[in-house]
Homo-oligomer: A and B are copies of this chain.
């Protein structure tokens, strides 16, 4: 069977069956934002890895090397934040065409370091090797978390409220602006906020820590494939349903303006745009307001309640502008369903 016909998630399920089952020390194996295993001292180590491929995940025509390094590292830091943890050590594998300049790679590493180092996270090793075609960056990142602070995808309880940090859809809006500019059809207007959100997303590590300080967070996931996809992930792994209030999803004015110029809606960007690297999390109703206040006080990042977890029989639904409830399509970005570059795919979208 070809991967095209299998899909990314079915592929992962099949590959999981090819490896020996984890030992008792493994608390979370293949399935979550990061794996988690108990260390000798009883602490929990988190480990995550992500690969970014030129022509699939980024386009060097409009992404500077420094920002590319930032984004690649931010994606991994975000996975550790989504487990309630704090990032510690990273290794970087770089497969690069020999035509690449050393200065470009220095900018790439500078960007990775710029987002990691202020969090106390260090690049400690890796591998550099030649690539016969495009650039490929793969980062592996470790983190630490206390057991009672861990936020796996499977922890949502029916009745919990779903919350998100920051604003959604901004990364997709920024990509539209850059992509259309690259094609020589720039959108009229100045959208610095959206461009910044795409090129330099801020991983919500401090926010995750403030959340955990304020209350018991039942579950979390980072929004890398779009809100729809992440809601479905949480619901599937927690065996709950969801009611999402479409009108409550926080969308920046820039995002709405860009979407309008693309004959789209900001909400569509939020639901399927991906790469916002905000956190979607679930808490008991009594804790939600307190968590929101605490995160905003500690970090300046707003937290918005966007819906609630319900019994699984109710399914995963969203209330639209007309007040009616519709099934929420799982319209996230799956790598193998479409081999066109993510950029053109999203910009075509």
Question: Could you tell me which A residues sit within 8 Å of B by CB distance?
Answer: 1-4, 6, 8, 11-12, 14-15, 17-20, 22-23, 26, 29-30, 32, 34-35, 37, 39-41, 43, 45, 47-51, 53-57, 88-89, 91-96, 98-103, 105-106, 109-110, 112-113, 117, 120, 122-134, 136, 138, 140, 142, 144, 335-336, 339, 341
- Residues on the B chain within 8 Å of A55, using CB: 132
Complex formed: what's the CA distance from A192 to B117 in Å?
50
- Residues on the B chain within 8 Å of A126, using CB: 30, 49
Complex formed: what's the CA distance from A40 to B34 in Å?
20
- Residues on the B chain within 8 Å of A129, using CB: 51, 53, 56-57, 335
A93 near B125: Cβ-Cβ < 8 Å: no
7 sample A-B contacts, Cβ–Cβ < 8 Å, listed by A number: A3-B98, A8-B128, A11-B128, A18-B109, A48-B91, A49-B138, A53-B136
Least distance between A305 CB and chain B CB atoms (Å): 30
A47 near B339: Cβ-Cβ < 8 Å: no
Nearest to A140 among chain B residues (CB) is B140
- Residues on the B chain within 8 Å of A37, using CB: 88-89, 124
A109 near B19: Cβ-Cβ < 8 Å: yes
Least distance between A117 CB and chain B CB atoms (Å): 4
Least distance between A110 CB and chain B CB atoms (Å): 5
Q: Could you list 4 further interchain pairs (A-B, Cβ under 8 angstroms) beyond the known A17-B106, A50-B93, A51-B95?
A: A26-B122, A35-B89, A47-B91, A53-B95
Which residue in B18, B43, B54, B130 is a CB contact (below 8 Å) of A106? Answer: B18
B105 near A53: Cβ-Cβ < 8 Å: no
- Residues on the B chain within 8 Å of A134, using CB: 132-133
- Residues on the B chain within 8 Å of A335, using CB: 128-130
A101 near B49: Cβ-Cβ < 8 Å: no
Nearest to A41 among chain B residues (CB) is B41
- Residues on the B chain within 8 Å of A3, using CB: 96, 98-102, 105
Complex formed: what's the CA distance from A85 to B40 in Å?
15
Complex formed: what's the CA distance from A117 to B11 in Å?
21
Nearest to A57 among chain B residues (CB) is B129
Complex formed: what's the CA distance from A76 to B125 in Å?
13
Q: Which 3 A-B pairs have the closest CB atoms?
A: A41-B41, A140-B140, A133-B133
- Residues on the B chain within 8 Å of A125, using CB: 29-30, 32, 34-35, 47-49
Which residue in B41, B100, B336 is a CB contact (below 8 Å) of A39? Answer: B41
A19 near B132: Cβ-Cβ < 8 Å: no
Q: A15-B109, A132-B134 are in contact. Are A47 and B102 (CB under 8 A)?
A: no
- Residues on the B chain within 8 Å of A122, using CB: 19-20, 22-23, 26, 29
Q: A19-B122, A37-B89, A126-B30 are in contact. Are A339 and B109 (CB under 8 A)?
A: no
